[in-house]
A = this chain, B = another copy of it.
Amino acid sequence: MPAQKYLPIYQALKSRIESGQYPVGQLLPSENTLLGEFGCSRNTVRRAIAGLVRDGYVQTSQGRGVCNIYQPLEPSSYSMGTIESFAETSRRTGQHSTTRVVHFSLCAADPALARRTGFAPGTELFYLQRVHLVEGVPRILNHSYFRRDCMPDFTADRAAGSIYRYLEEELGMTIVTSKRTVTVEHADELDRTWLDLGDYDCLAVVSSQTYNSDGVLFEYTQSRHYPGIFRFQENAVRSHREHRG
């Protein structure tokens, strides 16, 4: 129980902004004011604010203050800067979701697969295909590869539930970093088999490499999304200094 001090401050400010307690387009109370209110050091207030900047709630400018730039976003959006499982996203958006495993096998990474996924050639991998249904409609086809040596007693049954829950709660694994790429690709035979694409002939494809706390790449997943409901959000900050690095 670290009982971190900046977290409740971050959450308090966040909910004040969401509830309109701080007017949009105007400045929040200064850091000095806030540290008085929350009874903490200036560093701690600044950490809380840094989180709000990252989330796109506020932006800071030296000499002026911290400006509220909050705008409520589309609720149906997929991942935004955080690592979220499909189940977590569904819970957040309040939609009913199920998962169906349509393929499960064991393979080794040949050179082509290794180059595509980032695993070393020869690595033994579980390969699964899963279909995610939102409100009963098949929307996402996942191709996932997991390192076998990270999850010795993994089975097809477990794949039907939340794999992240299994990894984190049962195996005690900690998931840290995920590198993602979004592209758009033509639908292939498999996509048309499992998804109802309507009049789309393309999909939104999110490829992600996930690392555990040992720094080993243990998962590569390619998520092929029905375009109509796909939405990927991000906040970016312009850092003048680091550009010409």
Residues of B contacting A118 in the complex (Cβ-Cβ under 8 angstroms): 71
- A176 part of interface (Cβ distance < 8 Å): yes
With an 8 Å Cβ cutoff, the count of chain A residues facing the other chain is 66
A205-245: which have CB < 8 Å to B? 209, 211, 213-217, 227, 230-239, 241-243, 245
Question: Looking at the complex, which one of B74, B199, B242 makes contact with A7 (CB distance below 8 Å)?
Answer: B242
Encode A193-211 as 1/0 by CB contact (under 8 A) with B. Answer: 0000001111110000101
* A233 and B181 within 8 A (CB): yes
**A180 CB–B CB distance under 8 Å:** yes
Of A34-42, A78-86, A100-108, A137-145, the one contacting chain B is: A78-86
Interface residues of A, Cβ cutoff 8 Å to B: 4, 7, 10-11, 14, 25-26, 51, 53, 56, 59, 61, 64, 67-69, 71, 74, 77, 79, 81-83, 88, 118, 174-186, 199-204, 209, 211, 213-217, 227, 230-239, 241-243, 245
A-B contact pairs, 13 of them (CB 8 A): A7-B242, A25-B215, A59-B215, A67-B214, A69-B215, A82-B237, A182-B204, A182-B234, A183-B204, A183-B231, A184-B203, A184-B227, A184-B230
